[in-house]
């Protein structure tokens, strides 16, 4: 998502205007139900909120995989419930959806929250502004009941978008964003949804975990309050956070073909479900493109992909490889590397964003109980 999603789709020669339908995308639940597959899906995923819970305080939200670029699920706000599709974004902290106050084309093209239709809505005079790499929104804050994966959060603060300038949000298949990062980076001091879940004792454990499917397949999910043992058979490597802002960690180095090519003296990285690609300093991008034999735009011969080396991220003394089949994006016989240049200096060194290209290789656990990220390699 964000700037990286937009650039990646354009680079692949698929304009957002033609690739993304103007109608609202169906939820995974709705599509499964229409095809008579919902019952079998729920049996395979016993944590699903539409089925019997594994236990009180443990609940899963299925995520729809859209082109391997965006993963979004369905939440509801208000009484009676008004449904919205949202990206569960570990790179931001606010919840917001379009509102009836908004006349921007992006809002009119999506579901809009109507406070007048909710018996539990409370208004405020507090304003909200959020800028992402690909777009921005302005609006006001309000309070209402928010239901996520069957978990009902009373008096949750959220943003009601009044403007969504530009084209990006117009063409997205989701309505809004639900941030899962720390309160310290929340705009207007709004308490994040997961923080309220923890404070109200609505989850068994103060953590959530995420699985993102590959190749546009179904099965992606976010699990609140537990770790699914099915996805951790290879063990869990726990990594301490270096800052309680984003889900930020310190990396030791980045290697290609057994040779360190970047981050030689350590650098910072954030694990971000809201970013589609691997974002890294421009100098690192240039080095990797040269080593892999790609063009300056990242294009590479599809026939050469099977011979490419893995990119290995060394984190907390452990190696976390990303193979070529994960970092090469192929469409209609055209191949491009899933990297994007971005220079963001930090006090501890250069910043990398481990987006969905990385996350798809691992089951990721975001642990607020001890401020760690857990990575379990998927086989």
What is the C-alpha to C-alpha distance for residues 124 and 322, in angstroms, rounded to an integer? 46
What is the C-alpha to C-alpha distance for residues 112 and 348, in angstroms, rounded to an integer? 41
What is the C-alpha to C-alpha distance for residues 6 and 261, in angstroms, rounded to an integer? 27
What is the C-alpha to C-alpha distance for residues 69 and 9, in angstroms, rounded to an integer? 9
What is the C-alpha to C-alpha distance for residues 110 and 112, in angstroms, rounded to an integer? 6
Asked whether the beta carbons of 359 and 322 are under 8 A apart, the reply is no
- DSSP annotation of 113 reads B
Alpha helices in the chain (DSSP H): 2-11, 16-19, 28-34, 38-44, 105-108, 168-171, 193-199, 282-292, 324-327, 356-359
Closest C-alpha among 159, 234, 146 to residue 190: 159
Closest C-alpha among 200, 232, 219 to residue 57: 200
- Cross-strand pairs, 171: none
Asked whether the beta carbons of 103 and 127 are under 8 A apart, the reply is no
Q: Which of 89, 144, 195, 228 is catalytic?
A: 89
3-state helix, strand and coil shares in percent for the chain, rounded to the nearest 5: 20, 40, 40
* 22: Cα within 13 Å, side-chain hemisphere: 7
Asked whether the beta carbons of 353 and 249 are under 8 A apart, the reply is no
Catalytic residue list contains 167: no
Phi, psi angle pair for 190, to nearest 5°: -70, 135
Asked whether the beta carbons of 371 and 290 are under 8 A apart, the reply is no
Catalytic residue list contains 252: no
Q: Which of 175, 228, 252, 272 is catalytic?
A: 272
Active-site annotation, residues: 89, 272
């Amino acid at each position: 998502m964000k700037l990286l999603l937009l650039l990646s789709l354009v680079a692949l020669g698929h304009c957002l205007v033609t690739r993304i339908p103007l109608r609202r995308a169906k939820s995974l639940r709705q599509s499964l139900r229409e095809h008579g597959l919902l019952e079998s899906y729920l049996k395979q995923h016993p944590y699903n909120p539409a089925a019997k819970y594994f236990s009180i305080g443990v609940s899963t939200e299925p995520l729809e995989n859209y082109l391997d670029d965006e993963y979004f699920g369905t939440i509801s706000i208000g009484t009676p419930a008004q449904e919205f599709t949202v990206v569960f974004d570990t790179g931001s902290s606010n919840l917001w959806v379009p509102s009836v106050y908004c006349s921007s084309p992006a809002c009119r093209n999506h579901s809009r929250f109507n406070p007048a239709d909710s018996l539990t809505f409370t208004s405020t005079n507090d304003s909200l502004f959020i800028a992402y790499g690909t777009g921005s929104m302005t609006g006001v804050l309000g309070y209402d009941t928010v239901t996520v994966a069957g978990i009902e959060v009373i008096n949750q603060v959220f943003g009601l978008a009044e403007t969504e300038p530009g084209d990006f949000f117009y063409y997205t298949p989701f309505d809004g964003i639900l941030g899962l990062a720390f309160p310290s980076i929340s705009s207007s001091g709004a308490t994040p949804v997961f923080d309220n879940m923890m404070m109200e004792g609505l989850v068994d454990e103060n953590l959530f975990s995420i699985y993102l499917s590959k190749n546009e397949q179904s099965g992606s999910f976010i699990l609140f309050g537990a770790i699914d043992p099915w996805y951790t058979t290879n063990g869990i490597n726990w990594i301490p956070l270096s800052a309680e802002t984003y889900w930020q960690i310190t990396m030791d180095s980045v290697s290609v073909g057994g040779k360190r090519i970047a981050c030689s003296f350590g650098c910072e990285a954030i694990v971000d479900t809201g970013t589609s690609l691997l974002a890294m300093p421009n100098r690192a991008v240039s080095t990797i493109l040269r080593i892999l034999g790609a063009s300056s735009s990242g294009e590479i011969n599809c026939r050469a992909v099977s011979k490419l080396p893995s990119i290995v991220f060394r984190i907390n003394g452990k190696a976390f490889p990303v193979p070529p089949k994960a970092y090469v994006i192929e469409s209609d016989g055209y191949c491009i590397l899933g990297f994007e240049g971005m220079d963001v200096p930090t006090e501890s060194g250069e910043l990398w964003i481990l987006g969905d290209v990385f996350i798809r290789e691992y089951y990721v656990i975001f642990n607020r109980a001890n401020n760690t990220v857990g990575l379990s390699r998927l086989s």
